[in-house]
């Protein structure tokens, strides 16, 4: 049971954590912090948080758990702002989509790795932002990756694991570097393809006609291009090394595909599509 949870950034991810913990009675008071007055007032009205402040330092006073759920570019500022106001026993965790940058931000803010920091990432979300998009079931049957460091105190890791399990999530741990490489492939690359595809089509002169005839395939493939531009700018910059490597590998794949099409090499196309279909069918079966 968390007695006081402080959420810095009360949007989709922070708001959904508060709702989920409230739904199972695992949190006492929830204090929200953010920049937008109307968003925070809405969060109180929806019963997601009990009270709010715009000052991160004030928000963490007396909190046993602090959850950072701001865009990655705002993490360092938030960590610097809370550093001198935390209780000695407070556990800091976050939901940022890249872990290496959060650890670097924490070291920059604290001067060393904080021993009560448990970097985390719920592999769950939607293309919508803000507290009104949050919901209690977001994390149910979804994975949460925690990337503890050698300095992380075991009781802090255990508390954060239990917090996510209370939300219905399955907790996995891995190293920071491995997390950032895996997520570059499975989350960050697909978002680049969706943003890139929609932008390329939107800039074509005939775009009105193109979008008029776009149907299910386009809609399914491009849902995530409606995601927050600020959040994705920050993810790209924070994970630039791993994502650049993935984009380069993917470029080679696209060139191979384009060459096969130009050569009308049906056998090679069939080989690629059959391999891809088998891999996707296996993935869908596993997550059913
Ligand atoms: N959206 C997803 O699908 C998803 C999934 C997993 C993890 N994440 C990560 O979770 C974090 C939050 O994403 P989200 O989808 O909840 O975004 P969101 O836009 O819904 O919420 C972010 C909140 O942070 C506030 N904020 C922005 N800058 C701030 C600052 N400097 N100080 C205080 N508050 C500030 C915003 O006003 C907003 O209320 C990001 O780091 C993102 O990478 C997102
Ligand atoms: O389903 C979506 O809309 C998402 O984009 C969620 C998603 C992803 O699966 O890529 C996006 C970013 C995250 O850090 C985690 C989850």
SS3 of the chain: the string is CEEEEEEECCCHHHHHHHHHHHHCCCEEEEEEECCCHHHHHHHHHCCCCCEEECCHHHHCCCCCEEEECCCHHHHHHHHHHHHHHCCCCCEEEECCCCCHHHHHHHHHHHCCCCCCEECEEECCCCCCCCHHHCCCCCCCCCEEEECCCCCCCHHHHHHHHHHHHHCCCEEEECCHHHHHHHHHHHHHHHHHHHHHHHHHHHHCCCHHHHHHCCCHHHHHHHHHHHCCHHHHHHHHHHCHHHHHHHHHHHHHHHHHHHHHHHCCCHHHHHHHHHHHHHHHHHHHHHHC
pLDDT of residue 211: 81
Residue-level pLDDT at 215: 85
- Answer yes or no: do 130 and 82 share one domain: yes
User: What is the domain-level CATH number for residue 20?
Assistant: 3.40.50.720
How high is the pLDDT of residue 204?
Answer: 87
Q: Which ligand is nearest to the CA of 194?
A: 2
Where in the sequence is the domain holding 35, given as residue range(s)? Answer: 2-174
* Domains contained in the chain, number: 2
Q: Is 203 found in the same domain as 107?
A: no
Tell whether 18 and 135 lie within a shared domain.
yes
Residue 62 Cα to ligand 2 middle (Å): 32
Q: Are residues 208 and 162 both part of a single domain?
A: no
Hey, whose CA ends up nearest to atom 15 of ligand 2?
123
Tell me the backbone φ, ψ of residue 96, rounded to 5 degrees: -60, 145
Nearest Cα residue to atom 1 of ligand 2: 126
280 and 211 within one domain: yes
Which residue among 143, 174, 205 closes a domain? Answer: 174
Question: What pLDDT does 208 receive?
Answer: 75
Ligand 2 closest atom vs CA 121: 14
The 10s digit of each residue's pLDDT in 72-114 is 999 999 999 999 999 999 999 999 999 999 999 999 999 999 9
Residue of minimum CA distance from atom 33 in ligand 1: 34
189 and 165 belong to one structural domain: no
Q: What is the CATH number of the domain that holds 206?
A: 1.10.3660.10
pTM given for the model:
0.97
Q: Are residues 119 and 251 in the same domain?
A: no
8 A C-beta contact, residue 133 and residue 125: no
Last residue within a domain, chosen from 157, 174, 191: 174
CA pair distance 269, 277, nearest whole angstrom: 12
Q: What CA–CA distance (Å, rounded) separates 68 from 121?
A: 11
Distance CA 284, CA 288 (A): 6
Residue 193 sits in the same domain as residue 101? no
Q: Are 11 and 119 in a shared domain?
A: yes
Same domain, 166 and 184: no
Query: Which tokens sit at 218?
Result: 């386009």
Complex ipTM: 0.98
Task: Kindly state whether residues 165 and 201 are assigned to the same domain.
Answer: no
- Final residue of a domain: which of 141, 174, 207? 174
Report residue 50 as tokens: 């009990």
Q: What residue ranges of the chain have pLDDT lower than 70? A: none
Whether residues 169 and 185 fall in one domain: no
């Amino acid at each position: 049971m968390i007695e006081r949870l402080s959420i810095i950034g009360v949007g989709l991810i922070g708001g959904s954590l508060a709702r989920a913990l409230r739904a199972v009675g695992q949190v006492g008071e929830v204090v929200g912090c953010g920049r937008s007055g109307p968003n925070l007032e809405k969060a109180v009205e929806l019963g997601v948080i009990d009270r709010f402040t715009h000052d991160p330092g004030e928000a963490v006073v007396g909190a046993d758990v602090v959850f950072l759920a701001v865009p990655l570019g705002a993490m360092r500022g938030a960590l610097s702002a809370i550093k001198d106001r935390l209780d000695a026993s407070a556990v800091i965790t976050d939901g940022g989509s890249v872990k290496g940058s959060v650890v670097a931000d924490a070291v920059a803010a604290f001067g060393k790795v904080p021993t009560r920091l448990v970097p985390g990432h719920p592999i769950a979300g939607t293309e919508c932002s803000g507290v009104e998009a949050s919901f209690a079931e977001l994390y149910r049957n979804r994975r949460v990756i925690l990337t503890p460091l050698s300095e992380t105190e075991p009781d802090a890791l255990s508390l954060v694991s239990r917090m996510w399990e209370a939300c219905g999530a399955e907790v996995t741990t891995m190293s920071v570097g491995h997390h950032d490489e895996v997520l570059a492939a499975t989350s960050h690359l697909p978002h680049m393809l969706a943003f890139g595809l929609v932008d390329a089509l939107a800039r074509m002169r005939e775009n009105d006609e193109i979008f008029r005839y776009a149907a299910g395939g386009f809609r399914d493939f491009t849902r995530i291009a409606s995601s927050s531009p600020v959040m994705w700018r920050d993810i790209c910059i924070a994970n630039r090394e791993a994502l650049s490597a993935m984009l380069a590998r993917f470029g080679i794949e696209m060139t191979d595909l384009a060459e096969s099409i130009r050569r009308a090499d049906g056998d090679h196309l069939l080989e690629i599509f059959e391999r891809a279909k088998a891999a996707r069918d296996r993935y869908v079966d596993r997550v059913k």
